[in-house]
Chain A
Amino acid sequence: DVKVTQSSRYLVKRTGEKVFLECVQDMDHENMFWYRQDPGLGLRLIYFSYDVKMKEKGDIPEGYSVSREKKERFSLILESASTNQTSMYLCASTPLQTGSSEQYFGPGTRLTVT
Chain B
Amino acid sequence: AQTVTQSQPEMSVQEAETVTLSCTYDTSENNYYLFWYKQPPSRQMILVIRQEAYKQQNATENRFSVNFQKAAKSFSLKISDSQLGDTAMYFCAFMKGFSGSARQLTFGSGTQLTVLP
A and B co-occur in one complex: yes
Distance of B35 from chain A, by nearest CB (Å): 7
Q: Which of A44, A101, A106 contacts B103 (CB 8 A)?
A: A101
Q: A100, B50: Cβ atoms under 8 Å?
A: yes
Residues of B within 8 A of A58 (CB): 104
Q: Which residues of B contact A103 (CB under 8 A)?
A: 47, 103, 105
Q: Which residues on B are within 8 Å of A, measured CB to CB?
A: 4, 6, 9, 33, 35, 37, 43-47, 50, 52, 91, 95, 98, 101-110
Write the chain A residue with the least CB distance to B35.
A102
Given contacts A31-B101, A43-B91, A105-B46, contact A100 B107 (CB under 8 A): no
27 contacts between A and B (CB under 8 A): A4-B44, A33-B104, A33-B105, A35-B107, A42-B4, A42-B91, A42-B110, A44-B107, A45-B104, A45-B105, A45-B106, A48-B104, A50-B101, A50-B103, A51-B101, A56-B102, A90-B45, A96-B103, A100-B35, A100-B50, A100-B95, A101-B103, A102-B35, A102-B50, A103-B105, A105-B45, A105-B46
Interface-central residue, A42, A96, A108, by most chain B CB under 10 Å: A42
Total interface residues on A, CB under 8 Å, equals 30
Q: Select the residue from B43, B104, B106 with max chain A CB neighbours within 10 A.
A: B104
A89 to chain B, nearest CB (A): 12
Q: Which residue of A lies closest to B105 (CB)?
A: A103
Q: Is A61 an interface residue (CB 8 A)?
A: no
> Given the interface contacts A100-B33, A105-B45, does A94 sit within 8 Å of B109 by beta carbon?
no
A99 touches B98 (CB 8 A): yes
Q: Give the interface centre of A56, A100, A101 by most chain B CB atoms within 10 Å.
A: A100
Other A-B pairs beyond A42-B108, A100-B52, 10, CB < 8 Å: A4-B44, A31-B101, A41-B109, A51-B101, A58-B104, A90-B45, A99-B98, A100-B95, A103-B103, A106-B44
> In the complex, A45 Cα to B104 Cα: how many Å?
8
Taking CB as reference atom, which chain A residue is nearest B45? A105
A13 to B49, CA, bound (A): 37
